[in-house]
């Protein structure tokens, strides 16, 4: 089904800007403030490092997701099928971008990948605002069942919407809609931001709503405020975009904020290598997620380019585990850490993470 030109144009703009536009945060995601302590006597063979973890009800061979990016536009077809294949080959997760076009207009482009990724963790995606407008039964039928999803991500993006001239302005009812979905769906619900991070207070409210899985999507990677400001030709949007470009909770700070709440956390936002993923795991994340770097690798080298990036990232996670004397990601999450002064104030006093600081 064809898309109205304005919406498919927006999706194509997003892809182009994220491939080579100036849309990254200038500030860091603060993962560089996490010092992993080197173990010169690891007493481990590299092959004995076991990277398997569970996320959103499924076993991953390595703690990595290809994070939510696209769908609902013709170009998404090849991108999603190639990236889903990479997920299948590496035993990692793959997430669709927003499935609003499928839910509201029946647009199917880019949303069928099960045939190339029969076993991969497959995560759907819908905005909290849309989740509040549609009954859970419609979401189950049109998204979960129609695409063979293992989990559904609900995205929160108030900063992006406010900069987008045609964006949503009313964010009431999101938590209630999330609670309804958790109750009604028989697949896990993953609540994610889109580049501005999740705080401890939001984490607590999500736990009360029954949520078990979250994705930080913290500040320090792709700035959706910058993306929308680059697209807008309204002076107010450009001005807000400049002012709020760096808005948000850095990824490492968000993982630290969520420590000890009982949530399974995926750390996304400015990750592009396995050492960043390992640092997030050390802070307590269950896995790391990469969006933009996979899109760029795919744009440059297609399926092979994305596969090479995925392979490199997994090898780097393995290397960081060995060099900290960690046989598994869970071992890494028990090791002592050295934390820099910009990250330290974000670590809640009552979080278990506090007790691991210091070599
Ligand atoms: C091209 C592109 C499109 C995206 N579209 C979505 C989306 O539809 N839904 C969503 O929840 N997040 C979306 N994101 C956000 C990513 O899932 C991720 O949370 C964010 O970009 C931070 O990761 P990164 O720094 O690795 O890009 C998109 C990211 C990119 C790069």
Q: pLDDT by residue (tens digit) across 247-283?
A: 999 999 999 999 999 999 999 999 999 999 999 999 9
Tokens of 261: 């709440």
How many whole angstroms separate alpha carbon 6 and alpha carbon 102? 16
Can you give the pLDDT at residue 11? 82
Of 69, 213, 306, the one to substitute when testing ligand 1's pocket (max ligand atoms within 8 A of C-beta) is: 69
How many whole angstroms separate alpha carbon 141 and alpha carbon 130? 15
Can you give the pLDDT at residue 358? 87
Beta bridge partners of residue 60, listed in sequence order: 53
User: Phi/psi at 127 (nearest 5 deg)?
Assistant: -75, 150
User: What residue's CA is closest to ligand 1, atom 7?
Assistant: 97
E strands, 27-101, are 34-36, 53-55, 58-60, 64-66, 93-95
68 Cα: distance to centroid of ligand 1 (angstroms): 5
How many whole angstroms separate alpha carbon 230 and alpha carbon 49? 43
E strand or H helix at 209: none
Closest by alpha carbon to 98, among 152, 136, 61? Answer: 152
Low-confidence ranges of the chain (pLDDT < 50): 1-3
Total residue count of the chain as it appears in this document: 359
Closest by alpha carbon to 195, among 159, 171, 162, 167? Answer: 159
3-state secondary structure of 103: helix
Provide residues with CB under 6 Å of ligand 1: 14-15, 18, 67-70, 97-98, 125, 153, 155, 192, 194-195, 217, 221-222, 268-271, 290-293, 295
Q: Where are the domains of the chain?
A: 5-356
How many whole angstroms separate alpha carbon 356 and alpha carbon 333? 9
**Cα-only R_g, the chain:** 19
Can you give the pLDDT at residue 7? 66
3-state secondary structure of 327: coil
Fold topology of 5-356: TIM Barrel (3.20.20)
What atom in ligand 1 is closest to the CA of residue 67? Answer: 17
E strands, the chain, are 34-36, 53-55, 58-60, 64-66, 93-95, 121-127, 151-155, 189-192, 213-215, 264-268, 287-290, 337-339
Can you give the pLDDT at residue 236? 87
């Amino acid at each position: 089904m064809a898309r109205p030109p304005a919406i498919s144009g927006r999706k194509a703009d997003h892809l182009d800007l994220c491939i080579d536009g100036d849309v990254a945060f200038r500030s860091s995601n603060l993962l560089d403030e996490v010092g992993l302590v080197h173990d010169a006597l690891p007493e481990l063979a590299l092959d004995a490092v076991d990277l398997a973890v569970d996320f959103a009800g499924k076993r991953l061979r390595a703690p990595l997701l290809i994070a939510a990016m696209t769908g609902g536009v013709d170009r998404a077809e090849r991108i999603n099928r190639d990236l889903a294949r990479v997920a299948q080959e590496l035993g990692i997760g793959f997430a669709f971008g927003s499935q609003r076009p499928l839910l509201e207009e029946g647009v199917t482009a880019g949303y069928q990948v099960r045939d190339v990724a029969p076993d991969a963790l497959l995560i759907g995606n819908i905005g909290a605002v849309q989740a509040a407008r549609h009954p859970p039964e419609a979401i189950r039928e049109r998204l979960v069942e129609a695409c063979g999803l293992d989990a559904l991500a609900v995205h929160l993006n108030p900063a992006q919407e406010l900069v987008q001239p045609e964006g949503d302005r009313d964010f009431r009812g999101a938590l209630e809609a999330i609670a309804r979905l958790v109750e009604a769906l028989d697949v896990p619900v993953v609540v994610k931001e889109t580049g501005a991070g999740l705080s401890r207070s939001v984490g607590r409210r999500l736990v009360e709503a029954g949520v078990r899985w979250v994705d930080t999507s913290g500040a320090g990677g792709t700035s959706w405020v910058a993306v929308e400001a680059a697209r807008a030709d309204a002076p107010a949007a450009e001005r807000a975009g400049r002012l709020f470009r760096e808005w948000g909770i850095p990824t490492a700070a968000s993982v630290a904020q969520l420590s000890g709440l009982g949530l399974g956390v995926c750390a996304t936002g400015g990750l592009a290598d396995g050492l960043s993923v390992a640092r997030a795991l050390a802070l307590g994340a269950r896995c790391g997620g990469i969006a933009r770097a996979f899109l760029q690798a795919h744009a440059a080298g297609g399926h092979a380019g994305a596969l090479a990036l995925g392979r490199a990232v997994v090898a780097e996670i393995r290397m960081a585990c060995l060099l900290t004397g960690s046989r598994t990601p869970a071992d890494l999450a028990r090791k002592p850490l050295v934390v820099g002064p910009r990250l330290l104030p974000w670590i809640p006093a009552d979080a278990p993470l506090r007790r691991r600081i210091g070599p």
